[in-house]
Amino acid sequence: MEDGKIRFGVIGTENSHVNQACKRFNLEKSIKGGEVVTLYPGEGDSLEHVKEVQKEGDVPLVVNKPEDMLGKIDAVIIMNRHAKYHCQYARLFLENKIPTFIDKPFSCSLEEAKEIIELSHKTNTWFSSSSVVWKTSSFQNFFKDVQEELGPIHSGMVGGPFDFESEFGGVFFYGIHSVEMLLQGFGYDVKTIFAKLHRKNCFVTAALKSGKLVSLHLIGEGGGSFQVLLHCEKGSRYLQVDMSDGYDMGFKSLIEGIKNNVRPFSDEELLMPIKVLLAIDKSARENREVEIK
């Protein structure tokens, strides 16, 4: 690290998230402790576009292959839109003991995800993956404040945009946001999933081992905002999530995690979003309840 800054390489520049990283680290310097120093387009982007990102984001270098980042970076962020590409890159950097963050979603394959987590432990290398909707002050404060006022949560709803037939992994691409809100807000102890697809919308019932019952409103028609409804002991509250500080909170936690070498999630917490998303897909296609194992 130069001047205490983590030098980030970014894989997958077709995603607008790379512009958000460059804005905060390189241009505005609103988040201290990191800078984006090199880019690799990955699948789905053109050389022309990655050059635009480089120029607009004030990034020193575009490399011809991922291996060219080795020796030039302290950590890597993997951002391809389609999760099927993520693990091949994670494997390279973890094998070379480079701290690795995979932008949402981690993977479309549970077996591949398990392999990557195992590799991160084998090489003793920091690793994480998540979305940022649940990291917003809006989401975090809502759960805290409502429970203080209305008591324990017994049921509720989370919702957001969705595309069952997305070219970037179907349920995984947008569904990850609502699923992570479910897990972070209500608990990781999901027992069963029942999903019903109607036209482009999917309504999901998640039963938790704690006894909580949560519905997911995955909206494929007319967009849909990220939202939460809590039913508590003494009443109910609704929130339309304010996303304005999502990227800030996400990138700050990334810097803190790498610098302190603290993983924010257990292995099972990293795998659970994938298990739930696979269950939603299976339940919707087979029209039956699916158990989470």
242-260 tens-digit pLDDT? 999 999 999 999 999 999 9
Q: 227 CB contacts (<8 Å, ≥6 apart)?
A: 157, 158, 159, 160, 217, 238, 239, 240, 241
Q: How far apart are CA 34 and CA 13, in angstroms?
A: 18
Mapping DSSP to helix (H, G, I), strand (E, B) and coil, where does residue 126 land? coil
Beta bridge partners of 229: 157, 238
pLDDT at 44: 78
| Rounded percentage of the chain residues whose pLDDT exceeds 70 | 99
Tens digits of per-residue pLDDT, 132-183? 999 999 999 999 999 999 999 999 999 999 999 999 999 999 999 999 999 9
User: Is the overall model pTM greater than 0.85, yes or no?
Assistant: yes
Average pLDDT, the chain: 96
Task: Give me 164's structure tokens.
Answer: 């069952």
2 has pLDDT over 70: no
What is the rounded average pLDDT of the residues 23-30? 97
Q: Average of pLDDT values for 101-119?
A: 97
Domains assigned to the chain: 6-130 (3.40.50.720), 134-243+275-291 (3.30.360.10)
- Rg, Å, the chain Cα set: 19
Mean pLDDT over 221-226 rounds to: 84
Q: Which residues contact 73 (CB under 8 A, 6 or more apart)?
A: 7, 8, 9, 37, 38, 98
* pLDDT > 80? residue 224: no
What is the pLDDT, as a whole number, of residue 285?
97
pLDDT greater than 90 at residue 47: no
Give the Cα separation of 118 and 116 in Å (integer).
5
pLDDT of residue 4: 84
Q: Are residues 241 and 228 in contact, defined by beta-carbon separation less than 8 angstroms?
A: yes
